[in-house]
Amino acid sequence: MFPKGVLYEGVSNVPQFFRGESGANDSIIPTCDNLLQVTETMPTNELTEILKDFRSYRPVTHNEWLTFVERKAIKLDVRKFAKESLGSSTLYLAALDQVREFRDRHWKFTKEYILKHQNHPVATGGSPIATWLPNQLALSLIQ
């Protein structure tokens, strides 16, 4: 949208370049991913790199929170704990299903309101939306 970047008057004379995806401003789903240990199973690919790059767009306190949740979930091994009883497995799967449901709805909205009305399958910030959202949805299903 701004190929020459954006100048923030009184802040810097150097143009800033931000992709602007809504995912870069969201901490709810990344919190769930980290808590449920989905983040650990993400494949190494361009889409995962975009997701990691979103961290640079979030406020410092959001990144601190996400890092805290991720480290604590790994230390406690939330997924392993969830597998130890029927009750905790059920709750874990219900939480994971909520993340999957969010991603599924996001994908359906995207297809209906963005992909149908444009010729380029690119999100607002330049990510490859036609592969990005299905990739994220698949992560929720493989857990």
The total number of structural domains that make up the chain:
1
1-56 per-position pLDDT tens digit: 677 888 888 888 998 876 655 555 578 888 999 999 998 888 888 777 877 777 77
What does 55-88 look like in DSSP terms, one character per residue? Answer: GGGS-HHHHHHHHHHHHHHHHHTHHHHHTTSHHH
Domain-embedded: residue 34: yes
Query: pTM score, two decimals?
Result: 0.69
pLDDT tier at 133 (50, 70, 90 boundaries)? low
Task: Report how far apart, in Å, the C-alpha atoms of 33 and of each of 43, 73, 138 are.
Answer: 14, 10, 13
pLDDT confidence bin for 140, thresholds 50/70/90? low
Q: Is residue 18 part of a domain?
A: no
Q: Is residue 9 part of a domain?
A: no
Task: Note whether residue 15 is domain-resident.
Answer: no
Considering the domain boundaries, does residue 2 fall inside one?
no
Give me the mean pLDDT over the 105-126 stretch.
Answer: 69
Residue 41 lies in a domain: yes
Boundaries of domain holding 125:
24-142
Do the domain assignments include residue 38?
yes
pLDDT of residue 124: 55
Res 81 pLDDT > 80:
yes
Q: Which value, to the nearest 10 degrees, does the dihedral of the CA atoms of residues 35, 95, 100, 112 take?
A: -110
8 A C-beta contact, residue 75 and residue 41? no
Q: What is the CATH number of the domain that holds 59?
A: 1.20.58.480
pLDDT band, residue 87 (cuts 50/70/90)? very high
Q: Is residue 89 part of a domain?
A: yes
